Structure 1
Amino acid sequence: MELIFPFEPVISDEIPQEDFWRYEIKWDGTRILTYHDQEGTKLFNRKQNERTCHYPELLQVGSYCDADSVILDGEVIALAENGKPSFHEVMRRDLIQRLERVSEVRRLVRITYMIFDIVYYNGEWVNGRPLSDRIELLHKIISPNENVQLVASHDNGDTLFQVVQQQGMEGIVCKDLRSSYSLGGKDDRWKKVKNYGDVIAVVGGFTLSGGFVNAVLLGQYDNEGKLWYIGHTGTGKLTKAEWRELTQLLEPLKVEKHPFARKPERHRDAFWVKPVVTAKVQYSEWRWQEGRALRQPSIQSFVNIPPEECKLPWV
Structure 2
Amino acid sequence: MKPIIPFEPTTADLIPKGDDWIAQLKWDGTRILTYFENGELQLFNRKLNERTKQYPELQDPSEYCKASSLILDGEVISFKDGKPSFYDVMKRDRLRKFNHLQKAIEETPIVYMVFDVLFFDGEWVLDRTLRERQALLEDIMLPHASVQVVESFADKEGLYQACLQSGLEGVVFKDLNSRYTLNGKDSRWRKMKKEYDLIAVVGGVTYRGDIVSSLDLGLYNDQNELIYIGSAGSGKLSYKDWKDVTTAIQQIITDQSPFVNLKQHENAHHTWISPALKIKVTYLEWTQTNTLRHPVIQSFV
Deviation at 1:95, TM superposition (A): 1.1
Which residue identity is paired with 2:100?
R
Deviation at 1:230, TM superposition (A): 5.1
- Structure 2 counterpart of 1:52: 52
User: What does the per-residue CA deviation read over 1:265-306, in whole Å, with 9 as the maximum and x for residues that have no partner?
Assistant: 972544141569xxxxxxxxxxxxx9824357754379xxxx
Are the equivalent residues in 1 in contact too, given 2:280–2:298 (CA < 8 A)? no
CA distance in 2, matches of 1:224, 1:197: 32
Q: How does 1:27-66 map to 2 (within 5 A)?
A: 27-66=27-66
CA distance in 1, matches of 2:132, 2:29: 25
- Structure 1 counterpart of 2:279: 292
Deviation at 1:221, TM superposition (A): 7.6
- Structure 2 counterpart of 1:177: 176
Deviation at 1:69, TM superposition (A): 0.6
Higher mean alpha-carbon deviation, 34-43 vs 48-57, is at 34-43
Deviation at 1:35, TM superposition (A): 0.3
The structure carrying a bigger strand percent of its residues is: 2
CA distance in 1, matches of 2:51, 2:280: 34
1:228 corresponds to 2:218: no
Q: How does 1:48-127 map to 2 (within 5 A)?
A: 48-81=48-81, 83-127=82-126
1:267 corresponds to 2:258: yes
Higher mean alpha-carbon deviation, 167-176 vs 120-129, is at 120-129
CA distance in 2, matches of 1:69, 1:130: 20
Q: Give unpaired runs (5+ residues) of structure 1.
A: 199-216, 236-259, 277-289, 303-309
Deviation at 1:190, TM superposition (A): 0.2
Deviation at 1:150, TM superposition (A): 0.2
CA distance in 2, matches of 1:192, 1:70: 26
CA distance in 1, matches of 2:207, 2:153: 38
CA distance in 2, matches of 1:78, 1:224: 42
Are the equivalent residues in 1 in contact too, given 2:204–2:215 (CA < 8 A)? yes
Are the equivalent residues in 2 in contact too, given 1:231–1:293 (CA < 8 A)? no
Are the equivalent residues in 2 in contact too, given 1:30–1:75 (CA < 8 A)? yes
Are the equivalent residues in 2 in contact too, given 1:11–1:191 (CA < 8 A)? yes
Return closer, same or farther for 1:31/1:268 CA change in 2, 3 Å cut-off. Answer: closer
Are the equivalent residues in 2 in contact too, given 1:233–1:297 (CA < 8 A)? no
- Structure 1 counterpart of 2:225: none
Return closer, same or farther for 1:123/1:105 CA change in 2, 3 Å cut-off. Answer: same
- Structure 2 counterpart of 1:24: 24
SS at structure 2 position matched to 1:66: coil
Deviation at 1:63, TM superposition (A): 0.7
Are the equivalent residues in 2 in contact too, given 1:229–1:293 (CA < 8 A)? no
Which residue identity is paired with 1:170?
E
TM-score by length of 1: 0.71
CA distance in 2, matches of 1:113, 1:223: 42
Return closer, same or farther for 1:221/1:192 CA change in 2, 3 Å cut-off. Answer: farther
Return closer, same or farther for 1:90/1:233 CA change in 2, 3 Å cut-off. Answer: farther
User: What does the per-residue CA deviation read over 1:55-103, in whole Å, with 9 as the maximum and x for residues that have no partner?
Assistant: 000011011111111000000010012x011111111111112122221
CA distance in 2, matches of 1:233, 1:104: 38
- Structure 2 counterpart of 1:158: 157
TM-score by length of 2: 0.74
Return closer, same or farther for 1:218/1:52 CA change in 2, 3 Å cut-off. Answer: farther
CA distance in 2, matches of 1:179, 1:220: 41
Deviation at 1:220, TM superposition (A): 8.0
Deviation at 1:311, TM superposition (A): 9.7
CA distance in 2, matches of 1:76, 1:159: 25
CA distance in 1, matches of 2:288, 2:96: 15
Deviation at 1:144, TM superposition (A): 2.6
CA distance in 2, matches of 1:102, 1:64: 22
Q: How does 1:3-22 map to 2 (within 5 A)?
A: 3-22=3-22
Return closer, same or farther for 1:299/1:195 CA change in 2, 3 Å cut-off. Answer: closer
Identity of aligned residues (%): 38
Return closer, same or farther for 1:56/1:171 CA change in 2, 3 Å cut-off. Answer: same
CA distance in 2, matches of 1:234, 1:65: 53
Are the equivalent residues in 2 in contact too, given 1:144–1:150 (CA < 8 A)? no
Q: How does 1:301-312 map to 2 (within 5 A)?
A: none
Return closer, same or farther for 1:97/1:226 CA change in 2, 3 Å cut-off. Answer: farther
Structure 1 runs of 4+ with >3 Å offset: 217-227, 232-235, 260-266, 295-302, 310-314
CA distance in 2, matches of 1:39, 1:297: 40
